[in-house]
Amino acid sequence: MAHGDLKYTLLDYRAPSRHTWLCSAASVLIGVTLILTIAFYTTSSSNIHTISSSHNNGARSTIKSTEGPGSVESESGVVAADDGRCSEIGVQILKIGGHAVDAAVAVALCSGVVHPFSSGLGGGSFIVVRNSASGEALALDARETAPAAASTDMYRDNPTSKSKGPLSAGVPGELAGLHAAWTRYGRLPWRDLFLPSIKLARDGFVVAMQEKEALILADPGLTEVLAPGGKLLLVNETCYNPKLAATLEEISEKGPDAFYKGSLGENFIKDVKNLGGILTMEDLKEYKVVIKRALEIEAMGYTLLGMHPPSSGTVGMALILNILDSYRSVQAVQGLLGLHRIIESMKHMFAVRMNLGDPDFVNVTLDVSNMLSPSFAAKIRQKIVDNATFSPSYYMPKWSQLRDNGTSHFCVVDSDRNAVAMTTTVNFYFGAGVLSPSTGIVLNNEMDDFSVPSELTPDELPPAPANFIKPRKRPLSSMTPLIILKENQLAGVVGASGGTKIIPAVLQVFLNHFVLGMDPLASVQKSRVYHKLIPNKVTYENYTAIDGELIEFEKSSKLFLEKRGHVLENTSSSAVCQLVVHDLGEPVQNWDGKRRNWRNFLRRNTENAVFKGMLTAVSDLRKDGAPAGI
């Protein structure tokens, strides 16, 4: 077999015949284009428009990110990531004909390079993909799994090792998930999707956020990359990760087997074992992505496509939306009374969700059925009182809450209106606090998302048995990547990072735009409230964002909630939400020159016709993100 043929075999492509050398040349040109994207970073395009929107109710009039506009419009494709560099890389993939999944792979790889504190090859992800032509929607569970040597009581003698150090690591699934999605939908060569991130890691990238010095200096691998010579890199200084660049290059050439079955994985495992971890090559070889038809929920006139358990996000959203929908009026969620009802619905959801776990290990059928049931939600709604809130026991929680962390989320929609919602994580800030010296990969600490019998819980409730550790089991998660449909047409894509704050954040952004009619930018930037039942307090946002914008919760809202018995507390720890909205008001290209909305469009076309309206992408200022569009 010739070398060129071998390369294509490893990339899961059929080797080209000798007369198709033009295709190979085109691939080289694609790579050159992507490299130039990094070298000549720009967002100029004739059909991209910067939006400066005002909030409803008289709030601030302009909100932008320092790295780019707060939102962009495009007729042809958009990416909303929490770093503008990654959004731009994704858009360049779309410009050269890539599917939304191609862009998602490139964005995820970029995020792992420039934001190693929240995502990367050493972590895991949930990916929701919808193909516009067929209407097929898949949920890809690339969540980390417990190693084969893991056990229910493994942290009894050393509780801190559950969240810190190599024993806290689950088997990484990120790379396997990206490849599984690309295998089904990708149009561009696997290798080319890695080129921008290889260049960033090798040639350097500007540090965008101040890192935690003590955490970094405690680990030799992190120190080598982020504090060379023992001096912590500061914002706007250049960071290099040549070991990660070499890792990405090898995976780009050989595919994920280089990590899960090859020398890269062996080196990674050796590093982990040298530090006292229990991951093995067998763990990597046995890792499998769980692929299912996306979970569909119907609520408030929309179809939401999301993840099955062990994600609690989609079913959690379903329960809250069904509770609010049972009021039978959009006025139920309007104004300050609506805010009180939303908080009460969140408290009921958090009381129920800890019954969930990995469905391959525990039977959650009844719990999922209840959380998806409008009649179950209606019964809960009868317990909500408009003039009072109650102590946690009123909501009948049985188990201690999950305390997950971190993550990164992005949304992609391409010119064909294929869509991807992906949430990726290493859990805590820099995961386990360990970087593999030989591969440049940051190790997750996802084992901390399991419950353990010996755990001393801050809410004084017993740990949830459905989420106890078992070998190969996936821990419960709050991640909530969603694709939103209106009568089978794409209406939006949304998701967030931020642990237990994810579901409340995604809920409020969804309600702000799709129910209350706020514009996309205002829907994301509006101050939010959070609740997790125990402690029994509402946390609200009231702080200055990275770019200097003030996120402020109004005094009248605080007074209203306090009169109903809510205890309020300011927080500077927020979820970070990305949103894409597809305007179903009118198509961007009119088939006969007349203005018609999507329903008229469908009357004149086949049932499976794909409507193409204007796309608006928003990245959250809370992490100083920036979207991009073609």
Task: Return all residues near 72 (Cβ < 8 A) that are at least 6 apart.
Answer: 43, 48, 49, 50, 51, 78, 616, 617, 627, 628, 629
- HEC per residue, 112-138: HHHCCCCCCCCCEEEEEEECCCCCCEE
**Angle of the 263-274 helix axis to the 242-254 helix axis, nearest 10:** 140
Residue of 407, 423, 424, 500 with catalytic role: 407
Neighbours of 366 (CB within 10 A): 9
User: CB–CB of 255/149 below 8 Å?
Assistant: no
Instruction: State yes or no: 426 annotated in a binding site.
Output: yes
Quote the CA–CA distance of 215 and 218 in Å, as a whole number.
Answer: 5
Place of tokens 């409340």: 504
Name beta bridge partners: 63: none
Which tokens sit at 200? 């960033």
Task: Return all residues near 40 (Cβ < 8 A) that are at least 6 apart.
Answer: none
Quote the CA–CA distance of 614 and 367 in Å, as a whole number.
Answer: 39
Quote the CA–CA distance of 350 and 326 in Å, as a whole number.
Answer: 19
Quote the CA–CA distance of 106 and 596 in Å, as a whole number.
Answer: 36
Instruction: State yes or no: 425 annotated in a binding site.
Output: yes
DSSP codes of every residue in 285-345: HH---EEEEPEEEEETTEEEEEPPTTB-HHHHHHHHHHHHHTT-SGGGGSHHHHHHHHHHH
Instruction: Residue 103: name the closest of 617, 620, 519, 477 by CA.
Output: 617
Instruction: State yes or no: 539 annotated in a binding site.
Output: no
Distance between start and end Cα atoms, the chain = 40
Instruction: State yes or no: 313 annotated in a binding site.
Output: no
Question: What phi and psi, each to the nearest 5 degrees, are found at residue 515?
Answer: -110, -45
Neighbours of 456 (CB within 10 A): 8
Instruction: State yes or no: 523 annotated in a binding site.
Output: no
Instruction: State yes or no: 427 annotated in a binding site.
Output: yes
Please say whether the dihedral angle defined by the alpha carbons of residues 606, 609, 614 and 617, taken in this order, is positive or negative: positive
Is 145 designated active site?
no
Quote the CA–CA distance of 273 and 283 in Å, as a whole number.
Answer: 13
User: CB–CB of 403/500 below 8 Å?
Assistant: yes
Please say whether the dihedral angle defined by the alpha carbons of residues 147, 153, 157 and 158, taken in this order, is positive or negative: positive
Instruction: State yes or no: 438 annotated in a binding site.
Output: no
Reported residue count of the chain is: 630
User: CB–CB of 176/452 below 8 Å?
Assistant: no
Name beta bridge partners: 311: 477
Instruction: Residue 557: name the closest of 54, 53, 59, 52 by CA.
Output: 59
Instruction: State yes or no: 358 annotated in a binding site.
Output: no
Please give the annotated binding residues, written as ranges: 143, 425-427, 449, 477-478, 499
Active site residues: 407
Please give the annotated binding residues for L-glutamate, written as ranges: 143, 425-427, 449, 477-478, 499
